[in-house]
Amino acid sequence: MKTLKILFTLTLTLTLFSCHVGRMIIYNVSDVNDYKKFPQVTLQHPAESFHFTDAQKESLYTSIYPRSVILDDKITDFPSMFERTKTTSFLIVKNDSIVFEQYFFGHSKEDVFTSFSVAKSYISALVGIAVDEGHIHSVQDSITTYLTDFINPGFGKITIEHLLNMESGIRFRENYFNPFAEVTKYYYGLNLRKYVPKLKIEEDPGTFHYKSVNTLLLGMILEKATGKSLQQYFQEKIWTPLGMEYDGTLNLDSEKGNMVKSFCGVNSTARDYAKFGRLYMHNGMWNGKRIISEEWVLKSRTYYGSERASIYYSYQWRIDNNGNFWAQGHLGQFIFVSPRQNVIIVRTGKKYGAVNWPLIMARIAQKI
């Protein structure tokens, strides 16, 4: 009887683990340690690294008071804010100098943090580079020019730019707490290439709806257009030329599937995240070398629509009315850039918390 119970438990566990719903049950809802649970490929730091200058650290706690942009009455200052929001790292770079850097919950500058959807901004950069190099003719190209297996009706109307701006019209439920939503299947699933051809159109392209599948398709287009794996192109075009100090990783769906989860799978140190922000702050230039065209970066940093709002979305970046822009991920991961103040802020954490991070970062940039 004991043997039968063990066999039943083992069979049930294997059955659950083989499907995305079961894997969600086993892993529980997504958290900042998820990247350790999935297979990874390594982005190797180059022999020569770029280093920000270690400046005398600013007294952030006394120089800026954040109360006006916090919703939690139990948060009264920066230490309590970091604690209650379960912040794991907070880094401020001004004029290429680190003016504030603090790690929490036992973390240090050498530790790798997951970025979730911050990864989307990296994929956008790679698409821009592929356009610059002529691998992709135009962002107005239909996605079926590259994804030739997409034979379902309506996909021919979708352009690469539609994907970049989250305007594809593809049916895809972005609900992280629904085990049957597509984003859960894609996040926990083992074979993304098998899922993608089953996608369907929900509406004509042109209306903004945030859906992670758009970035996954951009990653697939990059591999088709360049003839290189996403890992290789990432290494060659971003990790090596930006002189990353530490190894990073990209998460895969599974070892067998061997597909980078381009919508959420970039993992890095806080300092190396800041370097990506620096690249965009300088309009695609890196220490005198052109990495991405200025036109591409400006399109990413500038919203061209007509409606008025406080935050806009363009080419997988978020933008405010004051010229600030940022990459943002689930649970409050940020690469925030303020070009006017020449400030970059990186925040990683275990939860978002009852705060307005972009507004807090904008005010820090003004006063630091």
SS3 of 287-329: the string is CCEECCCHHHHHHHHCCCCCCCCCEEEECCEEEECCCCEEEEE
Say if CB 158 and CB 205 are below 8 A apart: yes
Helices (H), 146-293: 160-164, 182-188, 192-195, 213-226, 230-234, 270-281
Q: In angstroms, rounded to a whole number, what is the distance separating the alpha carbons of residues 337 and 353? A: 21
Q: Are the C-beta atoms of residues 93 and 274 closer than 8 Å to each other?
A: yes
Question: So what's the pLDDT on residue 12?
Answer: 38
Largest CA distance in the chain: 72
What CATH number was assigned to the domain covering residues 136-226?
Answer: 1.20.58.710
pTM of the model as a whole? 0.92
The H or E element that residue 125 is part of is helix 119-132
Tokens in use for 59?
């007294």
| Helices 20-27 + 2-18 axis angle, to 10 | 110
Phi-psi category of residue 121: left, alpha or beta, with phi > 0 → left and psi -120 to 50 → alpha: alpha
Rounded to a whole number of angstroms, the CA Rg of the chain reads: 21
**Can you tell me the distance from the alpha carbon of 109 to that of 282, in angstroms, rounded to the nearest whole number?**
24
Looking at residue 302, its pLDDT comes to: 87
Closest CA to 25 of 134, 163, 269, 188: 188
Encoded tokens for 362: 């904008």
Per-residue confidence (pLDDT) for residue 306, from 0 to 100:
53
CA distance 301 to 124: 12
- Which CATH superfamily is 44-118+227-246+266-368 part of? DD-peptidase/beta-lactamase superfamily (3.40.710.10)
Domain boundaries along the sequence of the chain: 1-27, 44-118+227-246+266-368, 136-226
Q: Residue 303's pLDDT is what?
A: 75
Q: Which of 243, 303, 297 is nearest to 272 (CA)?
A: 243
CATH topology match: 44-118+227-246+266-368 vs 136-226: no
Residue recorded with tokens 């758009």: 214
Q: For residue range 257-314, what is the model confidence (pLDDT) as tens digits?
A: 999 999 999 999 999 999 999 999 999 999 999 999 999 999 999 876 655 566 899 9
3-class SS of residue 155: helix
Task: State which residues of the chain have pLDDT below 50.
Answer: 4, 7-17, 20, 23, 26-27
Q: What DSSP character marks residue 177?
A: T
Backbone angles phi, psi at 51, to 5 degrees: -125, 130
